[in-house]
Structure formats: structure tokens, C-alpha cells
Chains A and B, each alone.
Chain A
């Protein structure tokens, strides 16, 4: 990664490095618009990196939001084509448990047909043959084209594509101010580099806020008032694939009603609680209980399953009344209730400032396209959107990933532990080195997002010092860019982050794991001594 210049100039500055922002950046770049994306943390570290990992078939919204359902169905088909490396084609089921309403079950096939979602009724024997742990009292099942979507890979691929088309993206850069011209329109943005503490200015003609749940804060910086109403969605990471496919309940969306296989684990989701601050997304034990109680309806005994950790994301929900453009622009019927593009020029008199709010990861590309359509038009660019036509760059073009591919590749070399840094997720030394080559200023948590370091049962207990020593080796030789985190700090931060995520689910094997982890770090390694090196420890 090249060092960002102190002053630069683009047409459009995109704020927010989640899926929507990355999608917008790519779309802008493909239309020939000079663009830069800034993200205050790591890419996909906000809501995109903290969701359940589902590529919706649309089946979940056929009743509650038919337009959204249609969008999901269409985008699902497009992403299968353009983002194979970020997808595992697990397929999905909608199943009716005894607790689910009859009328919903009756209406479901027709609603799917209307939305263009293939929903094929499946004999229960076939369902239980492929998903033996599901509740045997399930009454009906439909197969739908759900899939498992890896958000970090997707965001990385969008950013890589954008770069190929001439755009750039800077992480750990926060928008802290804007300059406006005499007409009140956006002229430049002030950025704070969190790694170096430096301040940068980027001249631009437009700013697009794709900050999701944080859009209110970005709007405030730009001088507008936007009220978001973030919804906390909490999820549990089950230690293995409880199901091989995505499993949804045939009922209006609720708490523990979906299981998504993601790489080596399954995600059980999702609660929905309105929260005041999108940064305060701690999972409570009450949410854990609610998820497991509901999850039991899908997989009896789930309450006794190993849960590795709990996490939550902040849904980018908005106050519907607050985002109404005063006018109804043409084609507004095509805008789903689920997401909304706000032209702050019209709404607040800040020309060139746009916000995209709401939406879901599955439709990120569509949201980007609709946003860029309007931004491009305002800049006088009439190039059409081509993001659906061109495959994203990825490790193996055209190939969807599958559960065993990382292990199979390692086994093909003879296997063994010598090269494994993270054993649970089979992260090799080379893989980590490559991630550091690409982004030398990564923390361990950033490396986790690109490599899955520390995401397995031991939550980093065995790998985090190994990884820290790799960071330290680069640190010592000066190979790391300015602002790269101090290795000890990276270790302590990662240890705290990994440990806290297990507190809400500390029982059974994971509680034992936590105790073993404490033994390693507090006992054998006396890691607390890293915090205050000048303290005399050890004796006396």
C-alpha cells in the first residue's frame, strides 16, 4: 500500500469501506469517475463484517418487503456470476417448524413465484438426509438459492476491481471536516489518518456517505442532520457446521430463525434491538438465551452445542420520515423501502453530498448502482453501470469456494503443522505474510479479517503470539509502513477482543477454552507485563 499523499484531488470521495462503499467505489471507477474511498477503521470492519454471512435468495422478504425480495433474487443471480470467490453455494431451505404459522406456509410458494424466487418443495426425508440435525417435527421445506457470502472477500474484491479501474481506497482515514464553495457545494474533505495522526485534504466535487449505521455522524461532519436508528443484530458462532445449507424459518423474520454455514462454522442469527450508538454493540446474555431458545426450534439441542463467541452488528436503519426527499423524483417506485439515496443538495442545500442508507449486503451492488446513477448524472457523466457484467478479481476466477478447499490445498503439500500459524483455520505463514505484504499496517484483528486468523475454537490462544512474532520480525527490520501498530499493542488488543466475545457464551467447552487461554497468557506468558514494561514484575 502506498503512503497517502497529504493533498490529492478526485471527483468523488466515498466515505465508508463496507460492501456498499466498496461497491460504489468500483461502480464510479468503472464509469471513469476519479474516486477515492476512505474508511475510519479496517475495510469491512463495521456492519458488513459483522453480519450473518447470508446471500439472500429473497425468500425471507417475500411477505414483509416484496420489492426487496425481488431485488435480492436478481442480485443473488448476479453475485453468483461476478463474485464466485466470495461465495459458497450452500443452497438454503425454508422450513416450517410446528411453531410457525400455517397461513404463512400456505402463502409462501405463491409469494416466491411472484418475486421470481425459485422455491422448490422438498420431501422431508430428503431434507433430513442432508440435514440430519434439524427438528424432526418440521412439517414442510422449500429449497431456495441462498448461499454463504464471505464479506471480507467481497469487499476486498470490489476494492481490488476499483483499483484496477484507477480508484484508490484508504483505511484508517476518518472524515473530520469538509470545505464548501461559495454556493455551499462540497469542495474538499479533511481526513484524519488514525495510524500516523496526520491530516490530509482531498479536493472533490462530491462526497458519498456509505457509512451505514454511522451515516448520521458523517452527515453531521458535512453539516447536515440525519437521524439513523441503528438496529443491533446479535449472532452466535456455532463451532461447526450444524447444517450444511442455510436454514430459515418459514415465518415472519424473528430472532433465532436463521442458520448460515460460513466457512468452518455456522452463524445463528439474529436479534434486532434499536440502539442509540452503533459502536455500542455488546451482546447480552438475554440475547444469547433468546437466540438459543429460538434456535432450538430449528435444531433441537442447540442449547448444548459449542458456541465459539457472540458478536453483533449495527443495521443501517433509518428514520423513514427523516429521509424523505422533499420531492418525489422520477422512478421513485423503483426505490425499495429497504434503502434510500439522499441528495443532501436538495434536502439540505449541501450540493454534492449524498448519503445511502438502509439496505442489506445482498443488494450492495444494486444500492451502489442506484447511488452512482444519481451522483454520475449530477457530475454530467452518462456512462452506464457495468458492475453486473464483469467478474470481480479473486483468487480463482470462476470457482466458488467450498468448506474444504483451504485444508485440501494444505494436504496436497503433505499437510503438517510446521507452516500453520493458526491451526483451527489453517492459516499458513505464507498466507499471513501475503496479507502483510498487501497491508503492512494491519493489526491482528485486521489480519483476522483477511485470513481468518484466530476465528476457530481456541479464539487465537495458540496463534496470536505466533502472529505477533511475525509482526515483530517485520517491525524490527523496518519493513512495516509508518503507523503500523506496535506488535505488543496488537497482541493485547486482539487478546482482549477475542476474549470479550466469548464472555456472553462462557459455558461448557468454551468456558474451559477460556480458562486454558487464561492459563497460557496469564500463567505461562505473564502477558500483563507487556502493558507496563517499566513496572517491576517478576519478584518483589
Chain B
């Protein structure tokens, strides 16, 4: 590896040097597929990068790169190894630095703040989320699309439930680090979907792990996606400060959000330049929960006593998961559940791309990107599937909102399969079998 290869890994815009202009990236871009307003990854990525420089920093030439959803498919398709999506993200950050970010983008990026405001007022806030007038107002005033995928606030945050339950927040004396995980729940579980976290803990405990929920904040990815690197860096630094000790102690950091875990694994270093020993230790220790369970299974250590689930399960592997480079471990795990017929929907992107699909001016693009997926999921539901699965929260919300089909995290499916194994006498399930 030359210095420049190394520099390219550290600083994605350098990787555009490797572009041979072959146009493969254009062929896979889901956004360019549906809108003429986005010129596609070759244009806004390696081509535009040649015209960006430190001189005239006050005059950023870019406009169209802001429509990149950051799905990262271009990066994976590139035969030359150019980090196209990452370069686009840097270019967006330069736009934000130069021209500022909208209040809307700041607000929807600040998921911790949203949870702090929304959870205590959950009934009222959820009413607002479901209220057409309120959503219409939200669109007009804030630019959050009235039909943008938003989940309902939880009645209680996962973190406070955990505290109430007396759950561990620090490594107990004498614990075996190899059998201990630090659970990074992320803001989706904390503020919107605490059930996913509860199932994750249950599955981990069932497989003999002691679960700790360390002090944590939003991973910062929404800020990164919206070009607000300084905000993201503050979140990242606090998370690293809390998590590094666990990583060093040999404890695995496990998350249920493929976005959060990808931020811990890659974005902190690649995008936020936080490439110190703490960041490296945390990255090395971080696992997506399905990645961890599939790995246990490969080594014969997973409890595979799943109860049967005789049903079809349309599954969408989200873009963020694909960026992990771990394949589709959820599909491997689904294969262990008797009767479960999980089907990869074979579609590139649902369109949500984090906060992208929320934005009034992007909502339609996101819908168009995901449309073929929605059609497949709807068809599966029509053929009898009662739910769908997807590893990333905003994608779940997008699919659910766009299809009306309940969409769950794979860990919820697995937890249900375990519960079925525990309750074989339940007459309702016996009938299904």
C-alpha cells in the first residue's frame, strides 16, 4: 500500500485519484435512477472533486452533490476502489460550512434532542406525528415532509427502563469480558423502538452474554449525513470516551442499528478524522448484532433452538449494512429458524437514507427510489407475509410507512422464534405448525 492509498483510506477525497472514469457507479446510483436533478456519483464524485480545492474555500462550486443520499452503493460498485459516497459527504460538509445548515437539518439530525423533547410528551407528540394538520405545519415551517417516515415516540426511553430495571452500566468486577457485551442502543431504540433493545438484550442473555448498557449518546451519524461534522464530532468524542474502556477490556460493543455500528466502525475515523487509539479500539470491538450471532453460529456457539415460524418474511438488507462488508448475516440466521422463509427482496435502496426521505424536497425522490421494493413487500404481504424485516431503523420506518406492512428488526424475529421455542404448548402456535 502506498502512501497515497493510505491517505485515500484516511481521507476519502484522495481516493478519487483512482477513478478510471468507467461509469460503473452511474449505473448503480438509485437517486440518479429516479431524478434528473442529481447528476450521479461519477459527476458529483471523482469528476467534481478535481475542481474542489482549498483555495477559494469561501466559494464552494457545488450544488448538485447535496442530493446524494449517501447510500454508498457507488462506493461498493467501483472497480477502482474510489470512496465516492464518502467524498460526496465531505463535499456536502463543505457546503454546510460555507453556506450554513437549515434549522430543519439541524433539528432532524439532533435525535438526542428530539428524544429528550418527545419522549416525556409522548402521547401528545405522537398525536402531533399522526396529526395531518401538525404534519402539514411541519412541512411548511420546517420542511419535514408531511408523509416523511417518522416513528412514534416511546413512552419511556430504553435507557431509563434499563436504569429502572437496575441493568448494568459498567463492567462488573470479575466479569468475563469475552462473554460480556456493551450494548449500543442508539437513539432509535432509546426514543422510538425500545422493544428492539429489549429483544436484543434477551437474545444476547440467552446466548450467555452479560449485557451492559454504557453511557452513550446519539452516534452522530445524522449530523454527518447532514454535513454538520462539528456537531457529530462532539457526539463521537463523548461516545469514544465512554466506550473505549470497554473495548480495551476486551468487551464487544454490539449494536442493533447498522447505522450506529457503522459510524463506530468507520465514519468516526473516515469522516470525522478521529483516528486515534480510542477510535481504533472502539472500531475493532464493534459488532452488528446479527454479525455477532452469525459469527457465534459459524463457531457452533449459538443457541439454535429456535421455535418454528412457518411464514414468508420479505427482508431488505439496508445500504448501511452492506457498507459493513459483512454480507447479510440476518439471512444466515433466518435460515436457522424452522419454517421461516426469508426472501431477500433484491432491491438496492429503500430511499430513506437516514434523514434524506424526511425532507420535504427529497421525499418524492426517496419514494421513487424505494418504489420497486415497496411493491415487492406489498405483494409478499398480499401473498400472506404478516411482516417484513430490515436491520436499519429509518429504512424500517420508510418501508412500513410506504407499504403499511409491519417491518421489524431481525433480532425481533429471532427473539420471537426463541419465545416460540420456549412456549411450544401455546395452542395458537401449535395450530400454525
Contacts and interface: CB of A to CB of B under 8 A. Distances in A.
Interface of A: 88, 90, 130, 133, 239-241, 244, 261, 264-265, 300-301, 303-306, 402-408, 411-412, 414-417, 423-424, 426, 456-458, 461-462, 509, 512-513, 516
Given A423-B42, A424-B21, A301 B54 contact: no
Given A404-B51, A408-B59, A305 B17 contact: yes
Contact of B2 (A133, A303, A402, A403): A303
A416 B43 contact: yes
A402 B36 CA distance: 28
Contacts of B61: 404-405, 407-408, 411
A35 to B, nearest CB: 38
Contact of A509 (B51, B53, B63, B80): B80
Nearest to B3: A301
B53 A513 contact: no
A509 B47 contact: no
A303 B3 CA distance: 9
Interface of B: 2-7, 14, 16-22, 36-37, 39-40, 42-44, 46-56, 59-64, 80
Contact of A426 (B51, B54, B63): B51
B54 A512 contact: no
13 contacts: A239-B17, A403-B51, A406-B51, A407-B61, A411-B61, A414-B64, A416-B43, A417-B43, A423-B21, A426-B51, A457-B21, A509-B19, A513-B21
Given A240-B16, A412-B63, A456-B50, A403 B21 contact: no
B20 A301 contact: no
Nearest to B48: A407
B354 to A, nearest CB: 23
A244 B47 contact: no
A153 to B, nearest CB: 17
Contacts of A406: 51
B64 A264 contact: no
A306 B17 contact: yes
Given A403-B52, A405-B61, 20 more contacts: A133-B7, A264-B51, A265-B50, A301-B2, A303-B2, A304-B3, A402-B59, A403-B56, A404-B60, A407-B61, A414-B64, A415-B64, A416-B36, A416-B39, A416-B64, A423-B21, A457-B19, A457-B21, A513-B20, A516-B22
Nearest to A129: B54
The 4 A-B pairs of least Cβ separation, nearest first, read A301-B3, A304-B2, A408-B61, A407-B51
A127 B61 CA distance: 25
Residue among A241, A415, A457 facing the most chain B CB atoms (10 A cut-off): A415
Contacts of A512: 20, 80
A425 B3 CA distance: 26
A190 B22 CA distance: 49
Contacts of B80: 509, 512
B111 to A, nearest CB: 31
Contacts of B5: 304
A461 B55 contact: no
A509 B14 CA distance: 13
B7 A240 contact: no
Contacts of B48: 407
A84 to B, nearest CB: 14
B16 A301 contact: no
Residue among A264, A303, A406 facing the most chain B CB atoms (10 A cut-off): A264
A135 to B, nearest CB: 11
The dominant DSSP class at the A interface is: loop
Nearest to B67: A415
Contacts of A415: 39, 43-44, 63-64
B64 A411 contact: yes
A402 B56 contact: yes
B20 A403 contact: no
B141 to A, nearest CB: 27
B310 to A, nearest CB: 50
Contacts of A133: 7
B262 to A, nearest CB: 26
Nearest to B20: A513
A304 B51 contact: no
Contact of B53 (A241, A300, A516): A241
A90 B55 contact: yes
A516 B20 contact: yes
Contacts of B51: 264, 403-404, 406-408, 426
B21 A417 contact: no
Residue among B17, B42, B44, B59 facing the most chain A CB atoms (10 A cut-off): B17
Given A415-B43, A516-B22, A301 B50 contact: no
Contact of B3 (A300, A457, A516): A300
A426 B51 CA distance: 10
Contact of A403 (B39, B42, B55, B64): B55
B21 A461 contact: yes
Given A411-B61, A417-B39, A424 B50 contact: yes
Contacts of A306: 4, 17-18
Nearest to A91: B55
Residue among B4, B16, B44 facing the most chain A CB atoms (10 A cut-off): B4
A407 B51 CA distance: 6
A411 to B, nearest CB: 5
Given A305-B4, A423-B43, A509 B52 contact: no
Nearest to B81: A509
A411 B61 CA distance: 7
B21 A404 contact: no
Contacts of B60: 404
A404 B52 contact: yes
Nearest to B46: A457
Contacts of B54: 130, 244
Residue among A305, A414, A457, A458 facing the most chain B CB atoms (10 A cut-off): A457
B60 to A, nearest CB: 8
B17 A509 contact: yes
A352 B203 CA distance: 97
Contacts of B43: 415-417, 423
Contact of B47 (A265, A405, A423): A423
Nearest to A516: B20
Given A415-B39, A417-B39, A417-B43, A457 B64 contact: no
Contacts of B2: 301, 303-305
B50 A244 contact: no
Contacts of B18: 306, 509
Contacts of B53: 241, 244, 261, 403-404
Contacts of A264: 50-51
A423 B48 CA distance: 9
Contacts of A461: 21
B3 A404 contact: no
A423 B51 CA distance: 12
A265 B43 CA distance: 17
Contacts of A456: 21, 50
Nearest to A402: B56
A399 to B, nearest CB: 12
A240 B16 CA distance: 9
A301 to B, nearest CB: 2
A496 B85 CA distance: 35
Nearest to B80: A509
Residue among A303, A407, A424 facing the most chain B CB atoms (10 A cut-off): A407
A261 B53 CA distance: 11
Contacts of B22: 516
A513 B357 CA distance: 37
